[in-house]
Amino acid sequence: MSDETKTTDLDIEAGRLLFARPFVFVKGCVKIADLPPADRLEIAFAGRSNVGKSSLINALVGMTSLARTSNTPGRTQELNIFEAADAPLRVVDMPGYGFAQAPKEKVAQWTRLIHSYLTGRPNLRRVYVLVDARHAAKANDLTVMNELDRAAVSYQIVLTKADKLLRRELDKSIAATRAAIKKRPAAHPELIVTSSQTKFGMETLRAEIAALLTRG
C-alpha cells in the first residue's frame, strides 16, 4: 500500500507540528449564523453517513474521542467545530449525507445547512470528501462533488477503510475514484488513501493540510 499524493519532508514535518497541538471541540452549529468568525483558514470533512469521518478526524489529531464515533448512521447532525490554541486552522466535521432512514424534514435541514456552508463560507479553503474504499464514489458523493464544482470550492477525495481491502481490490477502487474525478474542475487530482484503524495515510493527510497554510 502506498500513498497516492506526493509530499515533501518539510510538508510532513509541518503537518506533524500542526496537529501536535491539542484540538478541542468548540461548538456544534445548526445554522450558518452559529458559525465562529471567519478569522482563520477552515477545512471541512464531508462524506456519507458511516464513511468514518469521526474516526478519521480522531486519527488525524492523534486523539481517541475528540469527534464522537458511532455505529448509528446520521449521528453527526451539526457542523461540529474543532480548534487548537494558536493554530491558524479550524476543522469542521459536516453532517453525513445519504442516510435515508432519517426523517425527511431532518434530511432537508442538513442538506440546506451543508449547501449554505459549502457555497457561502469565505474562509473555507478545502473540503475533504471521504469515500469508503470498499464502495468507491456513489451517487450521493457525486452530487456533493457537482455542488463543489459549481461553487468552485477546492476538494480532495480521501479513501477511508483501506485496511478492509486486499491490494488488488484497493487498486480497483483507486482507479474507479480517479476516473470519477478526472474531469472535475474543483477536484484535487490526487487521492489520499487512509485507514483510521492502522493510521495509514494520516501523515500524508496532515502534510496536505499543512501545505494549504504555507502554499495556499
> Which domains does the chain show, CATH number per domain?
9-32+42-215 (3.40.50.300)
Residue 79 burial (10 A CB sphere; 0-12, 13-18, 19+): buried
Q: Would the pLDDT of 2 be above 60? A: no
Name the percent of the chain lying above pLDDT 90. Answer: 66
Q: Would the pLDDT of 141 be above 60? A: yes
Band of pLDDT at residue 69, cut at 50, 70 and 90:
low
Q: Would the pLDDT of 154 be above 90? A: yes
Average pLDDT, integer, range 176-184:
94
Upper half-sphere CA count for residue 166 (Cβ side, 13 Å): 2
Q: What pLDDT is recorded for position 51?
A: 92
Entry pTM = 0.90
Q: What pLDDT is recorded for position 9?
A: 87
Measured CA to CA, the distance from residue 18 to residue 22 in angstroms comes to 10
Measured CA to CA, the distance from residue 152 to residue 154 in angstroms comes to 6
The answer to whether the CB of 101 falls within 8 A of the CB of 73 is yes
